[in-house]
Structure 1
């Protein structure tokens, strides 16, 4: 099969990491590699569409060891079923999800075929197109990881959600920094499903977008008085999800939480709270796949297998087919068809030229 394969060795990866960007754009190339062999607990998927994430080009530029298949988010069709998965899946079923792309030579989404654990994916409803289904990958599971698995918010499929809090005074409030990102839009929706009032930051041109996805209030993150304005209107915030985790984002979240104390979930290493009483916790959502791994191997930090995280992903994807009317996909922007469109799309992400939409590529 054809796949997008990384080729950078350790020195160039470390240099790119030190500079914060790639010095060249040739860190991955199309190659013919064997179709993955599946275990009894896995399924083989013919990839129909993929969604692009910043983590994809970051893996190409710095994180991935050579000979790894890139790509996380996918939608496709089951073509082979392990014997232990046959009670759930059959050949021809439509399936979507995320895999840990960029680390393994036989597991990644930017390929003609991929393999995945049979319980770490979800069944696409008939009314959902492949391009939309592919967006419920890294961004969606990161939102679930932050809110439900770490901050302890009620799950979207909890029975108690049948009787939501109607009085705004009865709802706790959460801050979602960068609500117009794909992770931000999913976080807004899952927090609303949990019965929370959602305050978010965005550029003014994205206020209509975050409002459409359920935000109760939006503030301009570039406004020097943004913290004062948030606190004047919402003084009791004690939890936040920082969907950028770079620059001043975590500091703004910390200043909003400082009067009450609380917890910030961050998405990148190095983003930490400096305020007493305000805790920050990194979520590395690759732990949801239930395997120990290392970032920037062989010299980077190691992450253990976390069985409870894996259980959270199983729960989320098992319930997702019933939740797509409540948890909608982000706006989809079709980048093109075929492998070449993946590279052009990743270059746009690398250059910061994508806003308010999820880039998706059709594979067939």
Structure 2
């Protein structure tokens, strides 16, 4: 841990922060203010972080739009933004894992508070920042990488490991490109889908891209089989290839249909999206999701193929972020990919609006970052 370098007396009473006034269109409900109170009253297990950088995830704009309002009800005005990286400037009386001056990264959860100069959260939401990443790079990691880490190593039984064959739907998504690297790091054979325009993005990970399954040779760890989903259906292309796992980062019923053609008997399908790619939670969608899961669970037991179906939601644990840091990022086995860094000090509220709009467009090639302060 770092030595204490910051006096709590230097923490201001107000800060610059994003403010969401309601659910709706981004430019109608999201503003930037410089008179928002700094959260100074910490509970025993909370830490206060001077935020240097934050990132956006699809859940952020879905929350802003109100897509998830049936299950998540933020109070307004609300500070959005879950993924952050920064420096600890104050700690609660019962905090054991950190001290003032520590550089950390973490996920503040659905009720967030990250798009601000200061953010507080339970110490369990954070881990020490990887030493080999900048603040902007570290902010790109928590939610997306931890989601894939848990999907591959905690939810799948047995976990993905040496010799596993895994197919990833949506390799150019943030969860997808982290999953590719995590699976490769433990010795798995990996194939994925993405559009032709994103092939170059996956090449940045350092793999040799091939579009032909017959070209995979003994050097599988440096090769990545990529199927352009606009041109081919992966189920038809890899039918009967006996994959152990299909990890779906895209959503839609077709992923499940295609997966059943390539999974081995007893193989597992795990999705972080489900059938509804719009992710608008309504009573109807909840009923539909529930019935489809029950149906698939039934057939996973009683059909001849026994394909498992798992709908995966992230459960935050600091141990996972610590393991990601020490065994994957600081060993250079996993790295974040960044598309654009926005800076509200230069562009004001427009930086926030563009951050959300590009994320919502689905055209980002890598993570989108909000820079809030310079490195110390």
Q: Same fold (TM over 0.5)?
A: yes
Which residue does the alignment assign to 1:200? 192
Task: Tell me how far 1:211 sits from its aligned partner.
Answer: 4.7
Matched residue, 2:353: 343
Partner of 1:141: 146
8 Å Cα contact 2:30/2:353 also seen in 1 = no
1:34 matched to 2:37: yes
Mark the runs of 5 or more structure 2 residues left unpaired by the alignment: 1-14, 208-222, 277-291
Number of the residue aligned with 1:172 = 164
Segment of structure 1 superposing worse, 222-231 or 271-280: 271-280
**Residue 184 of structure 1: aligned partner:** 176
Task: List per-residue Cα deviations over 1:159-198 (Å, max 9, x = no partner).
Answer: xx8xxx5xxxxx1201110101111011111112232111
Please report how far the alpha carbon of residue 225 of structure 1 lies from its aligned counterpart in structure 2 after TM superposition: 4.2
Q: CA deviation at 1:24?
A: 6.4
Shift of 1:261: 4.4
User: Which has the higher Rg, Structure 1 or Structure 2?
Assistant: 2
Question: 2:248 is matched with which residue?
Answer: 242
Residue 349 of structure 1: CA displacement? 1.6
The CA deviation string for residues 92-113 of structure 1, in whole angstroms up to 9 with x for no partner, is 2211111114x3xxx4211221
Offset of residue 247 of structure 1: 6.3
**Matched residues in 2 for 1:7 and 1:256: separation?**
46
Aligned ranges for residues 3-152 of structure 1 at < 5 Å? 3-8=17-22, 25-31=27-33, 32-36=35-39, 37-62=41-66, 63=68, 64-67=73-76, 68-85=78-95, 87-101=96-110, 103=111, 107-152=112-157
1:153 and 1:194 in contact (8 A); partners too: no
Contact 1:154–1:194 under 8 Å retained in 2? no
Q: Partner residue of 1:260? A: 265
1:66 CA displacement = 3.8
Structure 1 distance, partners of 2:120, 2:259, is 38
Count of paired positions: 305
The verdict on how the C-alpha distance between 1:358 and 1:244 changes in structure 2, with shifts beyond 3 A counting, is same
Alpha-carbon separation, structure 2, partners of 1:120 and 1:182: 20
Gaps of 5+ in 1: 14-21, 156-160, 166-170, 290-312
Secondary structure class of the residue paired with 1:2: strand
The separation in 1 between residues aligned to 2:266 and 2:203, in whole angstroms, is 27
TM-score of the two chains, using structure 1 as the length reference: 0.75
Question: Residues 4, 250 of structure 1: CA spacing in aligned structure 2 closer, same or farther, 3 A cutoff?
Answer: farther
Q: Which residue of 1 aligns with 2:368?
A: 359
Whether the aligned pair in 2 keeps the contact of 1:147 and 1:153 (CA below 8 Å) is no
Runs of 4+ in 1 over 6 A off after TM superposition: none
CA distance 1:153–1:45, shift in 2 (3 Å): farther
